[in-house]
Amino acid sequence: MRVLVFGATGFAGRHLVEALRLADHSVCSVAHRNPSASPDASVEHARCDIRDADGVEALLTSFEPDAIVNLAGLASPPAAHRHPAEAFEINVLGPAHLLEAAARRERSPRVLIVSSSEVYGHVAPEEFPLTEEARLAPDSIYGASKASVDGMTRAFVAAKGLDAICVRPFNHTGPGQSADFVCADFATQLAEISLQRRAPLLEVGNLDVTRDFTDVRDIARGYVALLEKGRPGEVYNLCSGRAVLLRGMVEELCAISGVSPEIRTAAERWRPADAPAYWGSAAKAEAELGWTASIPWRRTLEDLYRDCLERIR
């Protein structure tokens, strides 16, 4: 397949481009700023802001993709909380331009829209693990923007016959992640302590919550499987199905880094809508795509820590 990847220079985007290349798909990496050069000459590069409807239309005409993946967006819930209008402009209006342009093609490409598990919001304990049939009740600006694009994608399938799929990934981490996200934040702080760039003090938020973490490389494989085998109009969870206590994750990272810092709670690191527990079921993806999260959690944390260490060095 010829695949356009919007948001290809972001955290998950870089891993997806690599996964597509390894699966022998032709890739055009799309970034809204000047695209980065790739050591692989088989990967094409383009510059396009997904909020620019004319630019999106021109890019689809030029590349003529068989499939499109949208990873462009404001990916940080705290950033969306600070800038709600921008979050909806990028996370909803941008994908609307993409879906509309795809629907206008004479040969409509398959479109994979990346939503988020944040669309589920706070959930009663008896509702876990979350399946695709769970009600959508987002309680954050970010989650609300993703719920909007989630519903819009399925509406395009019903109203315009578009070959589109929606995926709801749960938390994912791994090499290359920004310190704006919890696992990479802790790994970065510990790497700085190890290199004596920081006092032996680890600042944390609420550690008594559980989250469903998956390695980003497994998530990227899942996106490829969805392009190859997913059913149009369907929505799929991608997750490990494993509830990880953040306090335990910190202990593992400390063991990996070999440092024993003082751990101090910082009020500014608490999210305003922190659910005490959150994990999902990827049974549908396993049954229909043959996909499961296969990379061990310890290896994910080791690779993340090594990456943070090298970047600081």
Q: What is the assigned CATH class of domain 2-173+213-240+282-289?
A: alpha beta
| Nearest-angstrom CA–CA distance, 231 and 288 | 9
Helix (H/G/I), strand (E/B), else coil: 240: coil
Domain boundaries in the chain?
Answer: 2-173+213-240+282-289, 182-210+243-279+296-312
Residue 230's nearest CA partner among 163, 145, 178 is 163
pTM, 2 dp:
0.95
Quote the tokens at residue 80.
Answer: 């969306």
Is the pLDDT confidence value at 113 over 90?
A: yes
Tens digits of residue pLDDT in 164-200: 999 999 999 999 999 999 999 999 999 999 999 999 9
Tens digits of residue pLDDT in 44-71: 999 999 999 999 999 999 999 999 999 9
Q: What angle do CA 150, 81, 136 make, to 5 degrees?
A: 30
Is the pLDDT confidence value at 273 over 60?
A: no
**Rounded to a whole number, what is the largest CA-CA distance in the chain?**
61
Residue 258: what pLDDT?
Answer: 97
Mean pLDDT rounded to a whole number for the chain: 95
Residue 34: what pLDDT?
Answer: 63
Helix (H/G/I), strand (E/B), else coil: 129: coil
Q: What is the percent of the chain where pLDDT is above 70?
A: 96
Residue 271: what pLDDT?
Answer: 66
More confident residue, 268 or 66: 66
Residue 255: what pLDDT?
Answer: 98
Across 27-40, average pLDDT: 75
Residue 38: what pLDDT?
Answer: 54
Asked whether 138 and 121 are in contact (CB, 8 A), the reply is: yes
Q: What is the assigned CATH class of domain 182-210+243-279+296-312?
A: alpha beta
Residue 212: what pLDDT?
Answer: 98
Is the pLDDT confidence value at 39 over 70?
A: no
Is the pLDDT confidence value at 35 over 60?
A: no
Phi and psi (nearest 5°) for 288?
A: -95, -25
Is the pLDDT confidence value at 252 over 90?
A: yes
pLDDT classification of 256: cutoffs 50, 70, 90: very high
pLDDT classification of 275: cutoffs 50, 70, 90: confident
